[in-house]
Structure 1
Amino acid sequence: MKEKRTIVDAWWNIILLIWSVSILFPLIWVFYESLKTNQEFFQGVWELPKKMNWINYQDAWSEYGIGKSLINTIYYVGVSLVIGTFLTAINAYVLTRLEFRGRKLMWAVIMLSLFLPGINALVPQYILMRDMHLTNSLTGLIILDSFSESAFFLMMLGGFMQSLPKELEESGAIDGASIFQIFFRIIMPLSTAGMVTVAIFKLLGLYNNFLGPFIYLGDPAKYTIGVAMYQASQIMQYKSDWVTLFAGLMLTMIPLVIMYIFLQRRIMEGATLGAVKG
C-alpha cells in the first residue's frame, strides 16, 4: 500500500530541493570557473569557458604547493585520527565502565571544560609546544591534536558505551580476562558504530583545522591544505590569478569526496547507530 503524500510533504520536498541547489550551485560555479582563463573570468563570471583549461589544475598543484600540502594534510589527519580516536575510546571506557575513586570529580572537571572557550588554552599550549621544541613540526601538531581530548567526543562515545550490558564484562572477568582484554575483545568491537561516529567528527574537524597549523607551522613546505589555501588567497591581492585558486579549491575537496564514495554506507550506518544508542 502506497503512502499518501500531503501538501506538507510537497513543500518539504521543495525546501530540500532548494537547499540542495544552494549547496551544489556554488561548487558547480567554482568548477567551471576553474576551467577558464583569467581573461574569460574577468570578462564574464557567469559565462561558460570556451575551452577546458585543465592546465589550471597543474599550476595549482605545483605553483601554490597544493600537492605538497595535500600530502601533509593526509599525514596529519590520518595519524591524528587513528591515535585520537583510540585514546578517546580508552578514556570513555575508563570514565564510564570502571569504578574508581575520583571518577565523578574527573567527569565534573571535564564537563566544566565545555564552558571554557578553547582559545583560552592557546597561549599556554604554544608555550608548552615551544619549550618542547615541537613547533614548526607536523609530528608536534599530531601530538597536540591527538592528546587534546574533547569533552564532546567523550560524552558521545561514553554514552554509547554506557548502553552496553554490564554482564558482558562480568562474564569476561569470570573467564579470567584482564581489563585490557575486556576492552580490546569485548568493548571495542561492540562500540565500533560509536567509534565511527566519533571518527567522522574528528576527520571533519582535523581536515578543516586552520588555526592550529597556521600558528604552529612556519615552514611553507609543512603547510596543511587550509594554510596553503589561505596563503594562496593572500597572493591574489597582488596577482589576481583567480582561476588557478579555484582549481586549487577543487583539489582540496577530492580527498573528502573519495572517502565519502568508498565509506558512504559505513559513515551513514555509524552515524545513525551512534545517535540511536548514544
Structure 2
Amino acid sequence: MSARKPKPPPGSRRFSPLRLVGKTVVWVFTAFNLFILYWLIASSFKTPVEIFTQPFQLPLQWFAVGDPFRNFSYAWNQAGFGSAFLTTTVLVAVAAVLTVALAAPAAYALTRLGVRGSNPLTNFFAIGMGVPFQTVVIPLFVGMAELNLTDDLFGLLLIYVALSLPFTVFLLTGFFRSLPGEMEEAAAIDGASPLRTFLSIMLPLARGGLITALILNAIGLWNETLLAIVFLQDNAKFTLARALFTFYSAARYQSEYGGLLAGVAIVVLPMLVLYVLLARRIITGLTLGAGK
C-alpha cells in the first residue's frame, strides 16, 4: 500500500488576487533591476556618443578599434580607482573583522552569561540601529577633529566599527540565544572557564552567524559614501565611493561618461557578485538567527 501524499496547505490551490499582485510586483521589480544592470554594464563599454544616441544597444565602437576596456582602464588609472579599490578592500575587510570580533563576545555575554540588565542592554543596541548616522555626522566630525583623526583612514575605520556594532550585536544575540546549552554545561562541569567555553565551543557553533554578520557588514561598508565624503580629503586616501564622487564632478566637464559608468561598475559589481555567490548562506543565516 503506497503512502498517502501530504495534503497541500489550506488555500494553496485557491486563486489569490493578493498573491498574484505580489508576484507581479516582485517580477516587475526584478526585471527593472536586471534592465538597469544591463544598461550599466553595456554603457561602461561605450563611447559618450553611443551612450546618448544608442542607450540600449550593445557597444560597438571601442570593440571596433580593438580597445574594448578603454573606459575601465581610464577609470582605474586616470581617475584613481586602482588605489581606491585597494584602500577600500583593506579598510572594509579590517572594519568588518573588527566589528564581528567585538560584537561576538558582547552578544555572548548578553545572552549566555546572565549579565544583570542584559535585556535593557540588548534593547539599547537595538535602539542604536534606529538612529540615522546622518544625524551624528557633525558631532562625529567635531570629535574626530579634536583627536586629529579627520582625513585619516584609521579615524574612518573607528567610525565604521562604531556605527556597525549595534546591528552586529543585535544580529548575533539571536544566534547565541539559539545555541543549545548542554555543551556549555558540559564544559562547565569539566572545569572550562567562560572564556574558554566561548572560544572553543560557542564560537564554532555560531560560525554561520559570524559569517553572515561579516558578509553583511562588508557589503554595507563597501557601499558607504557619506562618511567617506565628509572625513576624507586627500586623493591618496580615497575609498571607491569617495573616488567615484570626485570623478563624477570631473566627468561632467570632460564628457567622460563612459569612464564614469565604468567606475560605477567597478564599485557595484564586486559586491553584486559576492551577494549572488553567498546569497543562500546569508538568507539561511538570517533565518536561523530569527527563527529561534
Q: TM-score normalized by structure 2?
A: 0.83
In the alignment, the residues of structure 2 paired with residue 127 and residue 63 of structure 1 have an alpha-carbon distance, to the nearest angstrom, of 33
Q: Match of 1:163?
A: 178
> Which amino acid in structure 1 is aligned with residue 145 of structure 2?
R
Query: 4+ residue stretches of structure 1 with deviation over 6 A?
Result: 1-6
Deviation readout 1:89-132 (Å, 9 max, x if unpaired)? 11111122122445455345444445544334323322332233
> Which amino acid in structure 2 is aligned with residue 141 of structure 1?
L
Aligned to 2:30, the other structure's residue is in SS state helix
Structure 1 residue 167, shift from structure 2 partner: 3.3
Worse-matched range after superposition: 218-227 or 256-265:
256-265
Over 3 Å counting, the alpha-carbon distance change for 1:160 and 1:61 in structure 2 is same
Over 3 Å counting, the alpha-carbon distance change for 1:43 and 1:149 in structure 2 is closer
Structure 2 unpaired stretches of 5+: none
Deviation readout 1:203-256 (Å, 9 max, x if unpaired)? 221011111111111111111111111111112332221111111111223322
Tell me if the contact between 1:88 and 1:149 (Cα under 8 Å) persists in the aligned partners: no
Structure 1 residue 7, shift from structure 2 partner: 5.4
Which one of 214, 219, 228 corresponds to residue 229 of structure 2?
214
Structure 1 unpaired stretches of 5+: none
Worse-matched range after superposition: 210-219 or 255-264:
255-264
Number of residue equivalences:
277
Q: TM-score normalized by structure 1?
A: 0.86
Structure 1 residue 258, shift from structure 2 partner: 4.1
**Does 2:257 correspond to 1:247?**
no
Q: Match of 1:144?
A: 159
**Does 2:284 correspond to 1:274?**
no
Tell me if the contact between 2:178 and 2:289 (Cα under 8 Å) persists in the aligned partners: no
**Does 2:146 correspond to 1:131?**
yes
C-alpha RMSD of the superposition: 2.7
Tell me if the contact between 1:161 and 1:191 (Cα under 8 Å) persists in the aligned partners: yes
Tell me if the contact between 2:96 and 2:217 (Cα under 8 Å) persists in the aligned partners: yes
Which one of 47, 59, 67 corresponds to residue 49 of structure 1?
59
**Does 2:40 correspond to 1:30?**
yes
Tell me if the contact between 1:36 and 1:49 (Cα under 8 Å) persists in the aligned partners: yes
Over 3 Å counting, the alpha-carbon distance change for 1:174 and 1:61 in structure 2 is same
In the alignment, the residues of structure 1 paired with residue 207 and residue 260 of structure 2 have an alpha-carbon distance, to the nearest angstrom, of 39
Q: Match of 2:242?
A: 227
In the alignment, the residues of structure 1 paired with residue 52 and residue 182 of structure 2 have an alpha-carbon distance, to the nearest angstrom, of 68
Tell me if the contact between 1:193 and 1:271 (Cα under 8 Å) persists in the aligned partners: no
Over 3 Å counting, the alpha-carbon distance change for 1:111 and 1:78 in structure 2 is closer
Higher RCO (C-alpha 8 Å, min separation 6): 1
Identity of aligned residues (%): 32
Structure 1 residue 186, shift from structure 2 partner: 1.6
Q: Match of 1:75?
A: 90
In the alignment, the residues of structure 2 paired with residue 256 and residue 102 of structure 1 have an alpha-carbon distance, to the nearest angstrom, of 38
Q: Match of 2:253?
A: 238
Q: Match of 2:29?
A: 19
Which one of 182, 191, 195 corresponds to residue 206 of structure 2?
191
Tell me if the contact between 2:133 and 2:163 (Cα under 8 Å) persists in the aligned partners: no
In the alignment, the residues of structure 2 paired with residue 13 and residue 104 of structure 1 have an alpha-carbon distance, to the nearest angstrom, of 38
Structure 1 residue 190, shift from structure 2 partner: 1.4
Over 3 Å counting, the alpha-carbon distance change for 1:74 and 1:97 in structure 2 is same
Deviation readout 1:128-164 (Å, 9 max, x if unpaired)? 3223332222222112222445433322211221122
In the alignment, the residues of structure 2 paired with residue 271 and residue 101 of structure 1 have an alpha-carbon distance, to the nearest angstrom, of 27
> Which amino acid in structure 1 is aligned with residue 253 of structure 2?
Y
Structure 1 residue 79, shift from structure 2 partner: 0.5
In the alignment, the residues of structure 2 paired with residue 25 and residue 228 of structure 1 have an alpha-carbon distance, to the nearest angstrom, of 26
Tell me if the contact between 2:72 and 2:262 (Cα under 8 Å) persists in the aligned partners: yes
Q: Match of 2:215?
A: 200
